[in-house]
Structure 1
Amino acid sequence: MATKIRLQRHGKKGKPFYYIVVADARAPRDGRFIERLGSYNPNTNPATIDINFDKTLEWVNTGAQPTDTCRAILSYKGVLYKKHLEGGVKKGALTEEQAAEKFAAWSDLKDGKITGKKTSLTSAKDEARKAALAAEAKKKEEKAAAIAAKNAPVAEEVEAPAEEEAPVAEADAESAE
């Protein structure tokens, strides 16, 4: 019996949510499965992946073949790297301690990248919110200035023509003499 590690789709239309399962290769996508290993939610940023690491590693070691998407997920979580390190230990290239140390270093680096992405997303969101608030305040000031300009110039325009007419009247009087 050929077993595959694959995604089983759940969720409503447009909002997919997947279970990561081990199933017989001949079973339908959302049909019968042998064991559920975890879940994958691509709707969040970054995507939420919850997986039982030990069970998944056990299935990969016994020969279950992951699909392309599941291979990417397992690689992202480190299951395939752990299998690679265990293969090195079996061949004698590494000791158990060296393999554990390499995996811990890789895991710390990966966690750092994930937290860095989360902080950059939140800071970008905060900056966008501040920029929108500043733009709104500027627009509000412009509207207030436009309203003030609309109401204030009425009194100034009445005085200005009176000054212009006076010199014209004096010139007319001088030309009449």
Structure 2
Amino acid sequence: MSSSILRPQTGAATQPPTFQLTQAETGSLSHLDILRLVQAGFALSDVQAMVRSSSLFKSYKLLERIMGKSARTIQRLSNPQNEIRLNPQQSAVALQYAQGLELAVMVFGSQTLAENWLGRSCKHLSGIVPFEMLNTSVGFKVVVDYLERARLGVYQ
């Protein structure tokens, strides 16, 4: 994704993706708090920061996928004086990608290993690329279930 779509980093890249979206520590928000944030819509600048935090997100042009808009349109929308917010559906999808990456990092121990796993087909998921499943609630649940089993050492 071009750097014109993603504003320059401001040091937030060390924060987990969900922090970049919610501006709060993962454990400090209830499910209801997260629902309210999603319904209000995440700020485009926060989603851009989340995308910058992952080479996988950038290579898959995640921001364009989430918003359903071209890079040029997103660039035109990116105006610091008039902050754009994603709609609730787009925000929910952004959150699923962020949570999926964070769980994969927890399971695999590093963001590099997590991104490698998310970006390749997985025989335990019928050969589907896990990243490609995170855009729907059902696919997200399948990936999370698999990662939770892997984390606990329960294999098929």
Aligning the two structures, in what range does the TM-score lie when normalised by the shorter sequence?
under 0.3
**TM-score, length-normalised on structure 2?**
0.26
Give the greater-gyration-radius structure (CA). 1
* Structure with higher strand content: 1
Which structure has more relative contact order (CA 8 Å, sep 6+)? It is: 2
**TM-score, length-normalised on structure 1?**
0.24
